[in-house]
Amino acid sequence: MYEYIIGADIGGTWIRVALCTKDLKEQNIKIKMLNTPKADELSISKTLSSLITSILYENDLNKEDLIGIGIATAGPIDIKKGEIFNNANLGFKVIPLKEPLQKIFTEIPIYIINDANASALGIHYFEATEEEKDNLVYVTMSTGIGGGVICNGHLLLGKDGNAAEIGHGLVNPQSSFQCNCGAFGCWEVYSSGTGVRNRALEAIKKTNLSSKILMYMIDNDLTKLTAKEIFQAARGADKFSKSIVDQCIYFTKVGVGLINNFYDCKAIYFGGAMLKDHDLILPPIIDQFENDPLLFTINRPPKIKKTKYLENIGLRGALVLVKYKLEGNPIIS
């Protein structure tokens, strides 16, 4: 009889669940997803448990076949209590996860982790080369910017499980742009999807600068503007959009430099929804760190890469979390 692991990834839009045999063989990974509910504090844990129950049922399995559940979630998290707190997108001050699930899946170990940290584990197991494994960083560029760091073969977690909130690293302390977190001039204020949209809106309002192409793409309705259209217009050589994208890239170089100064990493893997435009974002960053790294980092530069599991790397990482926990792998002990 096989033993199975459940991995889950809770984001602002989707809750994804994966089922796999404990050997994490590629061909055995099954995935199921639902929209993230926002009705009350317990609706996320309810949706999660019904997703787990149905994926087990569809594969002719029972709770007894499970050896562990790993939950990767948008943070901040309290890793000991197993709950999310103060999350701006999910809508409630505290969202309990572990306790309500444990009532249903009694006896099964349940582990919680911040989603970017989970992704770093996913990269570690599924993608990193041998020489990258002990010192690698994962960066997600999506609605916000987050990170996960493996340094000296150890995943950095911090006191609550929120280490490596690199998106809130100040890249421009004199900035007049305020971040969701309350600070001014965080990296994600310039380079996240929300940041790119807000910078473009700001420039349009303040300077009357804009572009006909961009306005045409959104039917002259600024409420329709997202990072996607800005990148698309930049691709079409629209100067205004290109200047916004250039700013996103510049501050990502600053962010990469900070990460490498702090963690002296061998590789930085990028993921997240914005990396659909990786062909615009990554080449100038790779070029900078291959040819002129000293402008941004004093340490030897890391290799810059993209994860091939774009939207599923956190989910894969949640599976890996359970595997590593049960093996007593020193990376997560």
Binding positions for Zn ion, rule: CB under 5 A: 168, 179, 181, 183, 186
Contacts of 313 (CB under 8 A, 6+ apart): 119, 122, 123, 126, 138, 271, 307
Least CB distance from residue 147 to Zn ion, whole Å? 13
Least CB distance from residue 158 to Zn ion, whole Å? 16
Instruction: Choose between 195 and 302: whose C-beta lies nearer to Zn ion.
Output: 195
Tell me the C-alpha distance between 146 and 193, whole Å. Answer: 12
Contacts of 75 (CB under 8 A, 6+ apart): 84, 87, 114, 115, 146, 161, 162, 165
Least CB distance from residue 107 to Zn ion, whole Å? 40
Residue 220 backbone zone (phi > 0: left; psi -120 to 50: alpha; other: beta):
left
Least CB distance from residue 281 to Zn ion, whole Å? 20
Q: Are 145 and 167 in contact (CB under 8 A)?
A: yes
Instruction: Choose between 101 and 186: whose C-beta lies nearer to Zn ion.
Output: 186
Instruction: Choose between 85 and 105: whose C-beta lies nearer to Zn ion.
Output: 85
Which residue shows structure tokens 């079409």? 236
Instruction: Choose between 178 and 261: whose C-beta lies nearer to Zn ion.
Output: 178
The H helix count followed by the E strand count for the chain is: 10, 13
- C-alpha distances (whole Å) from 43 to each of 9, 75, 290 are 15, 17, 47
Instruction: Choose between 98 and 168: whose C-beta lies nearer to Zn ion.
Output: 168
The alpha carbons of the chain give a radius of gyration, in whole angstroms, of 20
Strand 110-114 and strand 66-73: pairing?
Answer: parallel
Least CB distance from residue 279 to Zn ion, whole Å? 27
Least CB distance from residue 181 to Zn ion, whole Å? 3
Instruction: Choose between 247 and 329: whose C-beta lies nearer to Zn ion.
Output: 247
Least CB distance from residue 103 to Zn ion, whole Å? 35
Within 5-97, residue ranges assigned H as helices are 43-58
Instruction: Choose between 10 and 179: whose C-beta lies nearer to Zn ion.
Output: 179
